[in-house]
Structure formats: structure tokens, C-alpha cells
Structure 1
Amino acid sequence: MNDFYELWPQRFQYKTNGVTQRRWIVVSNPNLCALISKWLGTEAWIRNVDLLAGLQEFASNPDLQQEWKMVRKVNKMRLAEYIEAMSGVKVSVDAMFDVQIKRIHQYKRQLLNILGIIHRYDCIKNMEKSDKMKVVPRVCIVGGKAAPGYEIAKKIIKLCHAVAEKINNDDDVGDLLKLVFIPDYNVSVAELVIPGSDLSQHISTAGHEASGTGSMKFLMNGCLLLATADGSTVEIIEEIGADNMFLFGAKVNEVPTLRDKGAALKPPLQFARVVRMVQDGYFGFKDYFKSLCDTVEDGSDFYLLGHDFSSYLEAQAAADRAFVDQEKWTKMSIHSTAGSGRFSSDRTIEDYAEKTWGIKPCKCPF
């Protein structure tokens, strides 16, 4: 494309994707919709989503925070009922609902998430009883589909099920950790899951996500993001500030150098341990998971799971600390929704109309 760019550079533009608040708040989260309208004193934000910024003024208001938490709890109860009906796993709504729902792909690093869950399980399993009292309970939810011919992606789904089977039936862990895989993930399921999520993971290796609209949907619903600086996350940071997110991982300019180091880039001991647990058959299917483990060993870790593992665990620990302080967590949640206006598809279409198509809006004739 470089030759064409040399001829017509003005024809090459980019537009940040957007999602519609009419689908992802008004339809899928009507209680939040009503609450926003109440505190803004208008429903005009549904057509002019930039008005959501007005919520920042009330982010520390205890009355709004209390109502905000109630809306979120109702949504979590609805999601918990769905999880139990779908999987038979009963989860506590007082736990943090930690969600990663998206297409299964190595660059999106669902494997990093699952290895992190194994690490959390391993730590809880080896804790003294007194230390378990300090653990922030988690319900980890993974959902997505793999392409029919994508063997590694299918093995990631299988590993998720195998780990869930072990964790969810371990009395030593109980309600401190649950893992659920949501099958047949689609928009209708997303409308249920996203409003009930506390934390959403967008953890692609920096430089691989073209944009990513899932993070925008979670953002609109007041879900906090645990993310790498990749895709639309970079612009979300500009809107809500890094203090309202949990960021980790290599930056895009660091990735090529890290890859060049190959086998010389030694992963942390925690990473080696959890990979070894899978390799040794702790979760069963030892031979089946061998090729999956091979993708992150001996210089084959193209997506840098080993390198980012330590900072990933640190970001997860920061999320735990913030969740304990519900006042802080709720304030961050309100700021997330308040800063989501830039990511409306209304703005995307307006950008295309003005800068690409050169057309102006007109009133609907009826």
C-alpha cells in the first residue's frame, strides 16, 4: 500500500471504532440508564453521549455511589443466575466478577489469563487458613469462540474447562475462586455479561489489537479495565486516566527487542511453575496440552506471556486492593462510564461523514 500512499496520502485515514450507547447501556443495562438520567437530570445523553462527562461531578457523592453499587449488584445477581443455569456452578455476588470475553486467539492471550488463574489457585491452595481470610474472592469468567481450524485456540478452551473442573470442585478453595467458561458467546450473552462484570481483561500483546470494541462496551457500563496499552486502550487511557485502570505489560516499542532476545528472555519462576503444572498433568490431558505449553517455552513465546506475567500479577494484586476499598472502586467505575463518550459509534460516523465522505447530517423526513 506504500505506493498508493505516496500518490494519495490524504486518502489514508484512520477512525477509532465505536459502539452505541443505545444498545450497550439503554437496552442491556436499563437500571444504569435510569440512574444516569436521574443524576444528569436529562435523557439527552442518549443522543449526545458526551453529556456522560457530567457524571464526573458526582463521582464522590455517597448517594450516587450507593445507588451505583445497587445497580451493579442487581446486574451481578442476574449474571450469577445465568451462570448457575448454564453451568451448574453457584457463585457469590460478593466476589469480584473478573471477565474476559472475546474471540479466542493467541495474541488476545486468554492463555495468560488462565495461567494467572492457576497461579491464584496454587497460592490459595498452599495458604494457611488465616491467610485465606484475606483473599479477595474471584469469579473468573471466560467466553469466546475459536475458528474451526485453529487448534491452539481450541486447546486453550479445553484447558480452561480442565482448570475449572479442578478449581470448582476443590473444597480447600471453596468460594475464594471459581472459573466458568461461557459457551456459544454472542451479542445476546454479552448484553447479560457486560453489565454484571466488575473487572474486564483486555490483555493482548502490545501492537496486535487493531482497535477492540469490547473494552468500550465494558467502559460504558462502569466496568474497570485490566489491560495492556494496546488498541483502543491507548485512547481510553487518555479519556479516564491511568489511575482509573490497571495497566501492565510491555509497550509496543519494546516488543520487537524482547522478541529478538528469544530463549535468552527467562520467564519468572511463578510462570515456569504454572506451565509445569499443566505439563505434568495436574489438570489432566497431559499429552493433549503439550503442544500448547510448547508455544510459551524455549524461545517460542512469540506473544510474550512469560515476560508480561510478573507485571500481570502485579496488576491483578492492585485490582484486589482497589476492590476491597469499595468507595474507591465505585468512584473509578463512575469515572469509567463518564469517560466513555468518545467511544460512541455516533462519533465514529460523524468523523467519517466530515473527514472522509464530506457530507452533512440532515433531519429525518418523518
Structure 2
Amino acid sequence: MAHKFINVTNGVTPRRWIKQCNPALSQVITEAIKTDEWVSNLSLVKGLENVFNHELIEKFIHVKQLNKDRLKRLVFRLTDSKVVLDRNALFDVMVKRIHEYKRQLLNLFGTIHTYLQIKKMTPMQRMKLVPRVKIFAGKAAIGYDMAKGIIKLINSVADTVNNDPEVGNLLKVVFIPNYSVSLAEVIIPANDINEQISTAGYEASGTSCMKFVMNGGLIVGTWDGANVEIAEEVGEENMFMFGAKAYEVAGIRANPIPISKDLAEVLAAIDNGMFGDASIHKFVIDQFRGGSDYYLVCRDFDGYVKVQEHIDSVWKNPQEWTTIMY
């Protein structure tokens, strides 16, 4: 009825999040389906299925490389020329408000795990790895000390990883400060994968995943928010899903699992000062040692690591990757 409020899932506009922020991709789409009306009627992009061929895939790949180069220049400038990204690396992006339920910590713990594994490898083993660029961005509420602690830990990890000559371009970690729409318009088109990994049952919708997939990115995510709806549309097999379901959360909290060996190693590395003064990060990680895992970071850690390993295996097969992406 006209006088009642009606709940409608959030959405995003193709005008802003494809046409404006990704003009090269917009041109490819328009030329392929021979109309630009998709900007106001996104269902028209289904017409790409009728002209899908190797030449079109090559155009999409070229656009992605252009957008990676644009982000590479931005990071180079924002880090005072200290961080140079490899355009051929897998760009793994998580940009959103910093909050415990959104689980930037899960992503960061996975990043530290990767770093520790690289340090253990021989030069020959390292040659087989998929280079990764881990991009973080987002703001913390003024009084949210934990969120600020997470931002500090991300930057501390970045300082260590990016200045380790043994690692080189195999892993780069960047926290882009002062996140804004203007920055998002550069970051989002460059993503290969985007992290939508909130604790199941907490994300009301989540519009960033829509922006990312509209720009040719694949979701690594939990069964939460718009991820569920996107999986129904594109097929679960075209997403990298993991983690507890919403109906499982209460039971898991009632019977928390012990910290896994790999996660214990990550926490020990932070405790031992690998990423700077351990006392600064103590309040961020001590909650897990005390048995508190309200947002299921410990519970989903091993699944997160496994899905990232799967992503690497798919990336090594360009034909399989581009088939999923396009």
C-alpha cells in the first residue's frame, strides 16, 4: 500500500559503477551488444552470451590489465613510491567499513599465514606460487577501538611483508587510507577477487559485492547478505564459498572449537613481534586466546585457507579462470 514502508534490498547503479568508473569495460560491452541502453537496463548485458568468443575474452582481459595499471599508479603515489605492484599478480581486494563482523581480521590472519608459508619455502617452491596483492581499505567509527586496532595491525603487517626481500612480489599488502567513493572507482575495477566474508547472518545486504562483480571480479565469500542472491543467479560453482551457515552460528558459539595449529602459528608470530611492537596488537588477538570467537574467525579460518588454495589452483589455469569470470 502507498502509505506503508516496504523493505527493498539495496542496489547499485551501473551508471556510476560501470560506465563512470570503468569506461574501458563500458565501451567493450556497448560495442559487443551494439547498444548503450544497458546502463539503465542492466539485464541487456545478457546479450554478451550471444557474442561470447575468444576475441571478447581477450578484450575483457586487456581492460582488467588497464585497470590494474591505474590502481598500481595510485598505490605507488599513496605510498610515496615505496610499493610497486605486479600487474600480473592476483589482485585480492577487501574494501568496506572496518567492523569485527565483516572480518577483515580473518582476511588478515589468512594473509599472515601465507607470509609464514612463503618464509618456510625453498626458492624452487616459491617459483610455483601465485603472486598476490592484498588490498584493504575502509574507515573505523570514531569510538570503535577494535576497528582502529585492526587497521593498525594491517599496516604493521604491510610494513613487514612489503620490505621483506625474500618475499618480493610474491605477496604485497596495502591499506589504502581515507577510503572514499573516488578511491573505490579506481580500486573496484582492478579486482580479480573480492572478499565478502562477514559472519553468516550479519550482513543486511552488502552492496560492494555487486559493484565488484559488475566489474569482472569473482567473490570469495560466506553464505551471507547479497552473496546468497548472487550465487542463485550465477551459480555457486562460479563463486568461492566457505564457512558456517547462519543457522549454525548459535550452536558453534555454544561449543567453540580450539584454535587450529595454523592459526596458533599466526597469533604467535604477532605475539613474538614479527609485525612490530606486540603490545600494540595484544588487545586485538587476546580475545581468541581467551576462548572468545563471537564472529567465528577461528571456526572459519581453516575453511578460508582452503578456499584460497583452491583460488590459486584455478588461477594457474587461465582458461578455467576466464571461463568462470566471463
Q: If the TM-score is normalised by the length of the shorter chain, which range does it land in?
A: over 0.9
Instruction: State whether structure 2 residue 270 is matched by structure 1 residue 278.
Output: yes
**Runs (5+) with no aligned partner, structure 1:** 1-7, 335-366
Kept in 2: contact 1:101–1:144 (CA 8 A): yes
Query: Which of 222, 225, 230 is residue 228 of structure 1 equivalent to?
Result: 222
The match for 1:81 among 43, 58, 73 is 73
Structure 2 counterpart of 1:210: 204
Q: Could you give the per-residue CA deviations for residues 201-223 of structure 1, whole angstroms, max 9, x where no partner exists?
A: 01100001010000000010011
Q: Which residue of 2 aligns with 1:35?
A: 28
Structure 1 residue 64, shift from structure 2 partner: 0.8
Separation of aligned partners in 1, 2:18 and 2:287: 39
Query: Aligned with 1:327: secondary structure?
Result: helix
For 2:63 and 2:190, the matched residues in 1 are separated by 9
Counterpart-to-counterpart distance in 1, 2:64 and 2:192: 8
Structure 2 counterpart of 1:337 = none
Counterpart residue identity of residue 271, structure 1: L
The CA deviation at 1:328 is 2.1
**How many angstroms apart in 2 are the aligned matches of 1:305 and 1:11?**
39
Is the contact between residue 215 and residue 233 of structure 1 (CA under 8 Å) also seen in structure 2?
A: yes
Q: What is the match of residue 104 of structure 2? A: 110
CA distance in 2, matches of 1:19, 1:322: 29
Residue by residue over 1:201-250, the C-alpha shift from the partner in whole angstroms, topping out at 9 and shown as x without a partner, is 01100001010000000010011111001011110101111111100110
Corresponding residue for residue 150 of structure 1: 144
- Residue aligning to 1:18: 11
Alpha-carbon shift at residue 40 of structure 1 (Å): 1.1
**Candidates 162, 178, 195, aligned match of 1:184:** 178
Pairing partner for 2:60 from 68, 75, 80: 68
1:288 aligns with 2:280: yes
Match of 1:56 among 49, 52, 64: 49
Q: How many residues align?
A: 323
Residue 255 of structure 1: CA displacement? 0.6
In the other structure, the counterpart of 1:266 is 258
Alignment of 1:200-349 (within 5 A): 200-262=194-256, 265-334=257-326
Structure number with greater CO (CA < 8 Å, separation at least 6) is 1
| Distance of 1:54 and 1:159 partners within structure 2 | 45
The one-letter code matched in structure 1 to 2:176 is I
Aligned partners of 1:38, 1:328: CA distance in 2, in Å?
25
- Once the two structures are TM-superposed, the CA of residue 43 in structure 1 deviates from its matched residue by 1.3
Name the CA distance, whole Å, in 1 between partners of 2:67 and 2:167.
Answer: 25
TM-score by length of 1: 0.86
Supply the AA of the counterpart residue of 1:241: G
AA aligned to 2:225 is G
2:39 to 30, 41, 46: 46
TM-score in terms of structure 2 length: 0.96
How far residue 272 of structure 1 moved from its aligned partner, in angstroms, is 1.1
- Which amino acid is the alignment partner of residue 205 of structure 2? S
Q: Is 1:173 matched with 2:164?
A: no
Give the letter aligned to residue 324 of structure 2: M
1:65 and 1:327 in contact (8 A); partners too:
no
Secondary structure of the residue aligned to 1:15 is coil
Aligned mates of 1:43, 1:330 — CA distance in 2: 24
Whether the 8 Å contact between 1:296 and 1:302 is mirrored in structure 2 is no
Q: Any stretches of 5+ residues in structure 2 without a counterpart? A: none
Aligned partner letter, 2:140 = A
* Whole-Å separation in 2 of the counterparts to 1:298 and 1:268: 14
Q: Quote the offset at 1:13 in angstroms.
A: 4.6
Helix, strand or coil: the match of 1:142? strand
Q: Structure 1 vs Structure 2: percent identity of aligned residues?
A: 45
Deviation, 1:301, is: 0.9
Deviation at 1:330, TM superposition (A): 1.9
Greater CA radius of gyration, 1 or 2? 1
